[in-house]
Structure 1
Amino acid sequence: MTYWVYILASKPGGTLYIGVTNNLVRRVYEHREGLADGFTKKYGIKTLVYFEPHDAIATALQREKNIKHWSREWKIDLIIASNPDWRDLYEDIVR
């Protein structure tokens, strides 16, 4: 099974959310449709701007925790390194 660490944004340079899941398409869909109560729904965070795969849940959870403790600047640098235009990557994962 693959586990995914992902970052959602409210807009380019906006509010960020970091999460982990074993079903990236389903989880991002839930955020986009407002089905996931909490932080993302409250702040309108729906755009998938970054994701990375992991083979083990422990590795994914540790990576999520590490990224959450990074400075905002480092998080933005991570996004920009692979997605400089802050493009919504959702269509890429549903293909």
Structure 2
Amino acid sequence: MKSLAEAKRDEEQRKLAEALNKDRKESFVDAHLKAGTSKPQNVAAAGERVPFDRERDIGGADGKKMSLEEVKERAGQLSSRFASGTGQKFL
């Protein structure tokens, strides 16, 4: 059983907590949780894990077959992308 002093102290603490929480705004955590539940859940939401699909992930250029000429043309463009700089060389 609670003593009279404990019951009185509990009542004072409850009143103090109510007074402090009366003017307090909604916490950021509660606002975030409420905003998250109000949005419709997108199946492929950003950051959500998506199962591995070999054709889509490794398939290359959108699954289309490239001719030998296209491969050579693209390989020729690599020299301009990875060429050494035209600036001074210090070492």
TM-score by length of 1: 0.21
Higher helix share: 2
**Based on CA coordinates, which of the two structures has the bigger radius of gyration?**
2
Higher relative contact order (Cα pairs below 8 Å, separated by 6+ residues): 1
TM-score (norm 2): 0.21
